[in-house]
């Protein structure tokens, strides 16, 4: 596909953790594409590997993790020209190649703003650090830029707040600072790892609006990791549903929400409260619990909890079928559709 | 910040009072007539009437609580009384020996902080690397072998077999260069004391740094694309320093305790040795005064660490 | 329908608990150093006890055979007044280990009880106990011990045990207090309070079990600490009287330079015994910590 249109192209990403001399595969053959200037939501239960997938791409995992992929291609668009980066070929996760990309090209907003800021430095200096690193700006010029960014992100009294320490900020304001750190070098791709889980609901809405603004007005590409289906409906252009380290369904928002195809996605959506729930209709739970990733049976990981499970589901690995252009489902129900890898 | 320092200073006063109370009543509990260590031997050898008169003048017939405040007043004036055994003024003995002990403990503190924290941090950054491995083995050995045994072995090797360093004392009578003389005499005791401290500090610094390196703000720092050394030093080390400093403070008592033992091994004339000899000779006043001095030193040390801590941590500095 | 189900859940819990135990044991056994530590501790302790039970003669001086080098009759040689060193090291081990274990356990009990009270009640109770512990900490422990030795003016074993316990409870106290301060805000504690459970019950039956792992670990390492402390005190001549041998006061002989230079066996064997035992306890304690308390390495 066109590298101008696709900003991030991941093919068969596998992440394995080594613990107690045992290898546990957490992310399995994950493939997805992110279109430039759109928002992709990655959803799934806790522990489904959505966070690990994104951290694998940014190479933030510790030494006990092994990241392998056929391709993790990042296409930077600068002055109308596309530069391709093959992240899977970069050896040192914190080496100069990866570092050059972090900040000016791709950045990340973390889950817990309380612990993502260094307690001993002023917030302004923490935001400026990346800018000074990548542009070689003087401290004074950087300060002007930081103030500008604070204003843009709606931090009140920026002149005063810039010299405060993180503990003097509220949770929502801290998250704005974290977003400022992510945004200061004007990256194209922003990965948000459950950016609002630690905040209360009104603040959540403000932060999400901010992110949506960045995407729509400035054309940023956003990956939003969340388990909040409400946020997905508001934010996402495309949705990627993950279960036990695999992508089980991928498609546009309409595909996934209105033409829901995978039994797991259906169950997931039925377990979320929505306005206009019919009288007497109860929220459903998904029966059973997620299997232990250390000892998995062959076949579909969801088989034991799936109401539509057949004998064939437990036999071998399940391929992915494309049921309409761009809508891919990993379920044998759709075996009459063309297989994709 | 000033308020913080003042508050800490004010808190020290009741602590010192309580400690002095313990020491004073400890002294009383031994049941020895205090006149014996309040007067110099010449005065004591005078006629009983004179001594009795002095007793009245010194207020030894007053109620205990009055005596306590008198005693405290004397202490504050630097009048520590006299040793029972040899009749020397304790203040003049301490004036010579206190600096020796401070030298010994101070050098070990600085040296072990540099070595221990340095190796600890490197071990954490290069976890399971060669330095980490060697450090761990040394830490275990340093904690297992009794300090005095380390001292004895060092004397055996460096003084007796190789004859490089003197095995005892602090000054040689025939020394020509004061600095070289001090270095020669301090080298072995300081090394002995440092080995034990380094073992503990190294371990602690390593674990703290590992904790810090796992925290979210390290990830944030990496997400800015700054070089790894900056991640480690600016974001990691700076945050790991605080708990390590606190543990350093908690270790100062052990260091002083250790110096008592080391002084005994190397016949090093510091206050540890003064105290040991005084206990063996039942020279209670000397014991109590040295105890008081050591406790006061400890309080000052812990005060300094509090201030240092506040300088390093904005949350403490800005009064939360 | 519900009964067999309940039973099976109970079964499951049981098997989960036993598999956790199995996993922990396996984890411990995987740690070679920890196993080595445990084996050394057990073997040395047994050897000392067997020596004591057999009634080896550690006290009779043999003036015709002083400072004898190791030989068939005296494997470790004899000391400065001709007593058999092997016997002294064995009996000394009994006393040293007794001192270590007794003081570690008792000071942990006191520290845990005070820590639980201070941490759970907070307020003035907490500040009083914390102040007391701070005063104790203002003295280097060894100096405090020396002061007490001076006041009591006796060098018996009982006094030593008393002094060590009185001066040794602060570390456990600090740790337990901190744990209690954070645990008392947990929901399950609030639930117990809402049920009107007795405070002592909440403290010792509900919260304390959650703090047991670090207490056990610190007690283990404290055994080593007290053994070393006793050795230091004996070395400077303020420990137990010479008639009761401990590893520390056997080593007291090493104060003489001529012994250190000429009769290596007099200090090498007890020195080895104490170092090896402390080393083994530390390894064992570290292994225990990895298993019981993985979060604080």
Q: Could you say which residues of chain A have pLDDT below 50?
A: none
Contact (CB, 8 A) for B268 and B100 = yes
Find chain B residues with C-beta within 8 A of C254's C-beta: 148-149, 152
Residues in A whose CB is inside 8 Å of some CB of B read 58, 60, 63, 94, 98-104, 107-108, 110, 112, 115-120, 126, 129-130, 133-134, 165, 167-168, 178, 181-182, 185
- Kindly determine whether residue C140 and residue B299, on different chains, have CB atoms separated by under 8 Å: no
Q: Cβ of A107 and B223 within 8 Å?
A: yes
Q: Is there a contact between B149 and C251 if contact means CB atoms under 8 Å apart? A: yes
**Average pLDDT value for residue range C2-31:** 67
Nearest residue, CB atoms, C138 vs list B145, B147, B298: B298
Q: How far apart are CA B105 and CA B102, in angstroms?
A: 5
What span, in angstroms and rounded, lies between the C-alpha atoms of A245 and A15? 9
Beta-carbon contacts of B162 under 8 Å, excluding residues fewer than 6 positions away, are none
Q: Does residue C3 have a pLDDT over 50? A: no
CA-based nearest distance C255→chain B, Å: 7
Distance from the Cα of B119 to chain A's closest Cα (Å) equals: 21
User: CA of B232: which chain A residue's CA is closest?
Assistant: A94
A244 neighbors A24 (Cβ within 8 angstroms): no
Cα of first residue to Cα of last residue in chain B, in angstroms, is: 11
Confidence of residue C297 (pLDDT cuts 50, 70, 90): very low
Cβ separation C139–B298 shorter than 8 A: yes
Choose among B141, B143, B295: nearest Cβ to C138. Answer: B295
Q: Is B89 helix (H, G, I), strand (E, B) or coil?
A: strand
Tokens of A210: 């901010």
Specify the pLDDT at position C4: 46
Cβ neighbours around A300 below 10 Å, total: 26
Q: How far is B287 from chain C, CA to nearest CA, in Å?
A: 7
**Is the pLDDT confidence value at C48 over 70?**
yes
Tell me B34's DSSP state: T
Distance CA A73, CA A2 (A): 12
By the CB < 8 Å criterion, does C271 face chain B?
A: yes
Q: Which residues of C touch B258 (CB under 8 A)?
A: 142
Cα–Cα distances in Å, from C294 out to B212, C24, C213?
Answer: 16, 11, 10
Indicate the DSSP class of residue B235.
Answer: I
Q: Which of residues 245-284 of B touch C (CB under 8 A)?
A: 250, 252-258, 260-261, 264-265, 275-276, 278-280, 282, 284
Q: What is the pLDDT of residue C15?
A: 67
pLDDT tens digits for range C112-152: 999 999 988 888 888 889 888 887 877 777 777 777 777 77
Per CB-CB distance under 8 Å, the chain C contacts of B275 are 143, 146
Do β-strands A71-78 and A6-19 pair in parallel, antiparallel, or remain unpaired?
Answer: antiparallel
* Residue C236 contacts B where some CB pair is shorter than 8 Å: yes
Chains that touch B (3 or more CB pairs under 8 A): A, C
Q: Which residue has the tokens 């900056």?
A: B230
Task: Please give the residue of chain B at the shortest CA–CA distance from C281.
Answer: B144
Mean pLDDT score, C218-239: 87
Q: Are C90 and C51 in contact (CB under 8 A)?
A: yes
Contacts of B287 in chain C (CB under 8 A): 146-147, 150
Q: Which of A115, A133, A185 is the closest to B217 by Cβ?
A: A115
pLDDT, chain C, mean:
82
Q: Can you tell me the distance from the alpha carbon of A336 to that of A187, in angstroms, rounded to the nearest whole number?
A: 42
- Give the minimum alpha-carbon distance from B197 to chain A in angstroms, rounded to a whole number: 28
Decide if C260 touches B, using CB distance below 8 A.
yes
**Three-class secondary structure assignment of chain C:** CHHHHHHHHHHHHHHHHHHHHHHHHHHHHHCHHHHHHHHHHHHHHHHHHHHHHHCCCCCCCCCCCCCCCCCCCCCCCECCCCCEHHHHHHHHHHHHHHHHHHHHHHHHHHHHHHHHHHHHHCHHHHHHHHHHHHHHHHCCHHHHHHHHHHHHCCCCHHHHHHHHHHHHCHHHHHHHHHHHHHHCCCHHHHHHHHCCCCHHHHHHHHHHHHHHHHHHHHHHHHHHHHHHHHHHHHHCCCCCCCCCCCHHHHHHHHHCHHHHHHCHHHHHHHHHHHHHHHHHHHHHHHHHHHHHCHHHC
Give the closest residue to A238 by CA, choosing from A219, A226, A216, A254: A254
Bridge partners (DSSP) listed for residue A322: A328
Asked if A109 contacts A178 with a C-beta cutoff of 8 angstroms, the reply is yes
Tell if the CB–CB gap between C260 and B152 is shorter than 8 Å.
yes
- Cβ separation A120–B313 shorter than 8 A: yes
Q: Do B223 and A129 touch (CB under 8 A)?
A: no
- Distance from C-alpha of C168 to C-alpha of C145, rounded to nearest angstrom: 10
Q: Does B294 touch chain C (CB under 8 A)?
A: yes
User: What's the pLDDT at A239?
Assistant: 93
Three-state DSSP state, B247:
helix
Give the strand pairing for A6-19 and A65-68. Answer: antiparallel
C94 vs B304: which has the higher pLDDT? C94
Residues on chain A touching B225 (C-beta within 8 angstroms): 98-104, 130, 133-134, 185
- A74 and A7 Cβ atoms separated by less than 8 Å: yes
Question: What residues pair up with A192 in beta bridges, in sequence order?
Answer: A109, A224
Which of B15, B32, B137, B149 to probe the C interface (max C CBs under 10 A)? B149
pLDDT values of chain B reduced to their tens digit, one per residue, 320 residues: 777 788 888 878 888 888 888 878 877 776 666 666 666 766 767 677 777 777 776 667 777 788 888 878 888 887 787 777 777 788 888 888 888 888 898 899 999 999 999 999 999 888 878 888 888 888 888 888 888 888 888 888 888 888 788 777 777 777 777 778 888 888 889 999 998 888 888 888 988 998 898 888 998 999 998 898 889 988 999 888 888 887 887 778 788 888 888 988 888 888 888 888 888 777 777 888 888 888 888 888 778 877 877 777 777 666 54
Give residue-wise pLDDT tens across range A134-180. 988 899 999 999 999 898 888 889 999 999 999 889 888 898 899 89
- What is the 3 state secondary structure string of chain A? CCCCCEEEEEEEEEEEEEECCEEEEEEEEEEEEEECCCEEEEECCCCCCHHHHHHHHHCCCCCCEEEECCEEEEEEEECCEEEEEEHHHCCCCCCHHHHHHECCCEEEECCCHHHHCCCCCCHHHHHHHHHHHHHCCCHHHHHHHHHHHHHHCCCCCHHHHCCCCHHHCCHHHHHHHHHHHHHCCCCCEEEEECCCCCCCHHHHHHHHHHHHHHHHHHCCEEEEEECCHHHHHHHCCEEEEEECCEEEEEEEHHHHHHCCCCHHHHHHHHCCCCCCCCCCCCCCCCCCCCCCCCCCCCCCCCHHHCCCCCHHHHCCCCCEEEEECCEEECCHHHCCCCEEC
pLDDT at A190: 92
Whether pLDDT at C109 is above 90: yes
Q: State the Cα–Cα distance between residues A7 and A74, nearest whole angstrom.
A: 6
| ipTM rounded to 2 decimals | 0.83
Chain B closest CA to A237's CA: distance in Å?
25
Nearest to C278 among B144, B156, B291 (CB): B144
């Amino acid at each position: 596909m066109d590298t101008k249109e696709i900003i991030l192209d991941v093919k068969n990403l596998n992440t394995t953790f080594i613990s107690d001399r045992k290898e546990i595969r957490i992310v399995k053959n994950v493939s997805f594409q992110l279109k430039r200037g759109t928002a992709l939501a990655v959803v799934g239960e806790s522990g489904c590997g959505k966070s690990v997938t994104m951290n694998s791409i940014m190479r933030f995992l510790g030494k006990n993790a092994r990241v392998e992929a056929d391709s993790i291609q990042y296409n930077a668009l600068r002055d109308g020209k596309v530069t391709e980066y093959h992240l899977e070929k970069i050896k040192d996760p914190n080496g100069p190649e990866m570092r050059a990309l972090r900040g000016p090209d791709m950045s990340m907003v973390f889950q817990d703003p309380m612990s993502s800021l260094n307690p001993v430095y002023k917030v302004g200096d923490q935001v400026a650090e990346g800018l000074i690193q990548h542009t070689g700006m003087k401290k004074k010029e950087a300060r002007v830029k930081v103030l500008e960014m604070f204003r843009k992100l709606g931090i009140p009294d920026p002149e005063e707040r810039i010299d405060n320490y993180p503990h003097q900020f509220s949770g929502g304001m801290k998250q704005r600072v974290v977003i400022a750190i992510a945004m200061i070098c004007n990256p194209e791709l922003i990965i948000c790892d459950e950016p609002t889980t630690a905040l209360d609901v009104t603040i959540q809405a403000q932060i999400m609006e901010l992110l949506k603004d960045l995407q729509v007005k400035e054309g940023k590409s956003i990956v939003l990791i969340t388990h909040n289906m409400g946020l997905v409906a508001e934010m996402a252009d495309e949705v990627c549903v993950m279960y036990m380290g695999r992508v089980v369904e991928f498609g546009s928002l309409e595909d996934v929400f209105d033409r829901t195809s995978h039994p797991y996605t259906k169950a997931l959506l039925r377990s979320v409260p929505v306005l206009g729930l019919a009288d007497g209709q109860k929220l459903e739970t998904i029966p059973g619990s997620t299997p232990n990733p250390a000892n998995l049976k062959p076949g579909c990981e969801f088989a034991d909890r799936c109401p539509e499970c057949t004998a064939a589901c437990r036999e071998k690995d399940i391929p992915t079928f494309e049921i309409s252009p761009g809508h891919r489902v990993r379920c044998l129900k759709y075996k009459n559709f063309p297989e994709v890898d | 910040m000033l308020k913080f320092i003042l508050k800490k200073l004010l808190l020290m006063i009741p602590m010192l009072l309580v400690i002095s109370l313990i020491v004073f009543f400890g002294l009383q509990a031994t049941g020895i007539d205090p006149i014996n260590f309040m007067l110099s031997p010449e005065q004591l050898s005078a006629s009983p009437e004179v001594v009795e008169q002095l007793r009245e003048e010194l207020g030894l017939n007053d109620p205990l609580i009055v005596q306590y405040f008198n005693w405290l007043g004397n202490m504050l004036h630097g009048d520590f009384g006299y040793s029972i055994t040899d009749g020397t003024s304790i203040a003049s003995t301490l004036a010579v020996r206190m600096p020796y002990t401070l030298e010994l403990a101070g050098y070990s503190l600085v040296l072990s902080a540099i070595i221990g924290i340095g190796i600890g941090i490197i071990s954490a950054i290069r976890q399971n690397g060669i330095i980490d491995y060697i450090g761990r083995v040394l830490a275990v050995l340093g904690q297992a072998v009794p300090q005095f045994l380390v001292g004895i072995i060092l004397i055996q090797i460096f003084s007796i077999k190789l004859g490089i360093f003197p095995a005892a004392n602090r000054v040689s009578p025939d020394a020509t260069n004061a600095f070289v003389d001090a270095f020669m005499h301090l080298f072995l005791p300081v090394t002995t004391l440092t080995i034990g401290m380094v073992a503990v500090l190294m371990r602690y610094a390593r674990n703290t740094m590992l904790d810090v390196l796992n925290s979210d703000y390290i990830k944030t720092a990496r997400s800015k694309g700054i070089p790894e050394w900056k991640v480690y030093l600016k974001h990691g080390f700076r945050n790991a320093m605080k708990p390590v400093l606190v543990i350093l403070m908690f270790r100062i008592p052990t260091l002083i305790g250790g110096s008592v033992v080391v002084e005994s091994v190397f016949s090093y004339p510091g206050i540890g040795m003064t105290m040991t000899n005084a206990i063996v000779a039942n020279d209670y006043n000397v014991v109590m005064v040295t105890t008081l001095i050591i406790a006061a030193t400890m309080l000052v040390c812990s005060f300094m660490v509090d201030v240092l801590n506040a300088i390093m941590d904005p949350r403490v500095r800005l009064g939360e | 329908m519900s009964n067999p189900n309940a039973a099976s859940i109970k079964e499951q819990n049981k098997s989960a608990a036993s598999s956790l135990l199995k996993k922990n044991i396996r984890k411990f056994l995987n740690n070679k150093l920890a196993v080595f530590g445990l084996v050394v501790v057990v073997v040395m302790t047994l050897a000392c006890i067997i020596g004591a039970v057999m009634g080896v003669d550690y006290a009779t001086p043999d003036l015709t055979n002083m400072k004898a080098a190791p030989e068939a009759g005296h494997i470790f040689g004899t000391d400065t007044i001709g007593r058999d060193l092997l016997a002294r090291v064995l009996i000394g081990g009994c006393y040293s280990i007794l001192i270590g274990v007794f003081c570690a356990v008792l000071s942990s009990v006191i520290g845990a009880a005070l820590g639980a009270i201070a941490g759970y009640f907070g307020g003035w109770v907490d500040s009083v106990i914390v102040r007391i512990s701070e005063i104790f900490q203002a003295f280097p422990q060894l100096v405090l011990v020396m002061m007490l030795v001076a006041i009591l003016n006796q060098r018996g074993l009982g006094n030593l045990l008393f002094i060590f316990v009185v001066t040794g409870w602060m570390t456990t106290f600090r740790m337990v207090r901190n744990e209690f301060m954070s645990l008392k805000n947990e929901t399950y504690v609030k639930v117990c309070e809402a049920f009107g459970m007795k405070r002592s019950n909440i403290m010792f039956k509900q919260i304390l079990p959650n703090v047991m792992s670090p207490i056990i670990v610190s007690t283990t390492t404290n055994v080593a600490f007290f053994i070393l402390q006793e050795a230091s005190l004996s070395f400077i001549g303020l420990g137990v009287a010479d008639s009761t041998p401990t590893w520390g006061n056997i080593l007291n002989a090493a104060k003489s330079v001529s012994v250190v230079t000429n009769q290596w066996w007099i200090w090498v064997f007890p020195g080895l015994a104490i170092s090896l035992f402390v080393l083994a306890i530390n390894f064992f304690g570290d292994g225990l910590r990895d298993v019981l308390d993985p979060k604080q390495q």
